[in-house]
């Protein structure tokens, strides 16, 4: 055989090259379906159905947490339910962990207000005293117009009288009420058993001069002192050691001399704020209506159990007690320790009533018997 021409060599070379390339293509296609190079984003697309993406790509974390940016997780996965004891109701979402959203555990706990004290009362009470009431700057020559509290004080003048005083004591006892009796010295000497009855029922005694002398305050000072002391001695004769903490001037005709004499003997001058003028005998209905219409918290009420026919006062007392006992605390004026010589007392004082403070400006009182 002769040698291969150049043309033949070119054909052979072309065929061999085509075969090599064909074989290489087939081999590469076969290997590329299983181990071929990964395409950008292919892994993320492959996991899109599960909602979990690679942390490096900024997607939701595989452990079910939230995105760093605080937005909701993408895909179909739901947020996990907290385990019991984590402070959330079952079925609620887990707390955010992003610093821009304070967690429930780190949120400040609201301050718990202190508990209200049982029985606390924001009302301002009246003054509390340990003995008889102090002078009243609003009264004539410092004489008391009020009780110094919201409680109301009923006072009965000119007794005792065996016709009317026992009836009044019985009515007060029926209502469980105590009062103040301003007694005249000569009546105390004549009816010591009534002084004892007054004291036995827990009422307060008040000196009302020896013979109901309206002009006593105009007399010499020594005479005034002797009159008041004599009355105190008559009371002590009926009830040894009796305490007489108050003095009421007959007719309300006060002078500085008689007020000073009363204080010298340890007594607080006592006036009144409500005067129904019962000593004029206007009728029981008028007396009761006047008292119930004009009384106010802290008032000292003037009534009479002697000095004339006081049946109007006795008859008026029942409706007065029915009305006032529903509206006020009714008290006997407070007392202190007895004076060693005259049976009178010194000191200051009245306990507050249950309705608040007494009215300070009782106004001008009417002069009564």
Residue 121 to residue 343: CA distance in whole angstroms? 39
Give yes or no: 275 in active site.
no
Please confirm, yes or no, whether 304 is among the known catalytic residues.
yes
Q: Which is catalytic among the residues 191, 212, 271, 304?
A: 304
CB–CB of 153/274 below 8 Å? no
CA 224, CA 246: separation in Å to the nearest integer? Answer: 15
Instruction: Supply 105's token pair.
Output: 């555990």
Nearest to 150 by CA among 127, 129, 133, 130: 127
Alpha-helical regions (H) of the chain? 6-35, 42-46, 165-175, 185-190, 192-200, 221-238, 256-264, 284-294, 311-327
Residues 6 or more apart whose Cβ sits within 8 Å of residue 249: 143, 209, 216, 217, 258, 259, 269
3-state secondary structure of 154: strand
Instruction: Output the six-digit token pair for 284.
Output: 């029981």
Residue whose token pair is 């150049």? 6
Annotated catalytic residue: which of 136, 141, 157, 191? 157
Tell me the torsion sign for CA atoms 352, 354, 360, 362. Answer: negative
Q: Are 210 and 227 in contact (CB under 8 A)?
A: yes
Q: How far is CA 224 from CA 200, 214, 219, 354, in A?
A: 29, 12, 6, 38
Residue numbers annotated as active site: 157, 304
């Amino acid at each position: 055989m002769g040698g291969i021409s150049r043309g033949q060599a070119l054909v052979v070379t072309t065929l061999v090259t085509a075969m090599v390339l064909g074989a290489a293509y087939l081999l590469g296609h076969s290997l590329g379906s299983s181990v071929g190079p990964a395409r950008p984003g292919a892994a993320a697309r492959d996991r899109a159905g599960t909602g979990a993406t690679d942390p490096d790509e900024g997607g939701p974390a595989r452990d079910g947490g939230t995105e760093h940016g605080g937005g909701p997780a993408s895909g179909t996965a739901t947020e996990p339910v907290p385990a019991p004891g984590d402070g959330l109701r079952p079925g609620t979402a887990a707390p955010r962990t992003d610093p821009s959203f304070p967690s429930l555990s780190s949120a400040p706990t609201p301050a718990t207000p202190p508990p209200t004290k049982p029985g606390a009362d924001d009302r301002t009470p009246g003054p509390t005293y340990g003995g008889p009431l102090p002078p009243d700057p609003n009264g004539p020559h410092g004489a008391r117009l009020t009780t110094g509290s919201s409680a109301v004080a009923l006072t009965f003048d000119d007794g005792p009288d065996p016709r009317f005083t026992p009836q009044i004591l019985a009515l007060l006892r029926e209502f469980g009420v105590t009062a103040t009796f301003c007694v005249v010295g000569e009546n105390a000497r004549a009816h010591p058993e009534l002084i004892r009855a007054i004291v036995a029922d827990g009422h307060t005694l008040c000196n009302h001069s020896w013979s109901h002398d309206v002009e006593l305050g105009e007399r010499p000072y020594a005479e005034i002192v002797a009159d008041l002391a004599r009355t105190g001695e008559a009371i002590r004769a009926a009830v040894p050691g009796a305490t007489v903490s108050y003095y009421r001037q007959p007719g309300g005709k006060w002078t500085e001399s008689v007020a000073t004499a009363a204080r010298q003997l340890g007594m607080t001058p006592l006036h009144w704020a409500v005067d129904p003028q019962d000593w004029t005998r206007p009728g029981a209905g008028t007396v009761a209506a006047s008292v119930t219409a004009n009384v106010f918290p802290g008032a000292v009420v003037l009534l009479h159990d002697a000095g004339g026919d006081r049946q109007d006062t006795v008859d008026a007392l029942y409706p007065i007690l029915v009305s006032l006992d529903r509206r006020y605390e009714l008290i006997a004026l407070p007392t202190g320790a007895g004076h060693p010589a005259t049976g009178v007392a010194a000191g200051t004082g009245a306990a507050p009533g249950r309705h608040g403070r007494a009215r300070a400006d009782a106004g001008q009182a009417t002069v009564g018997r």
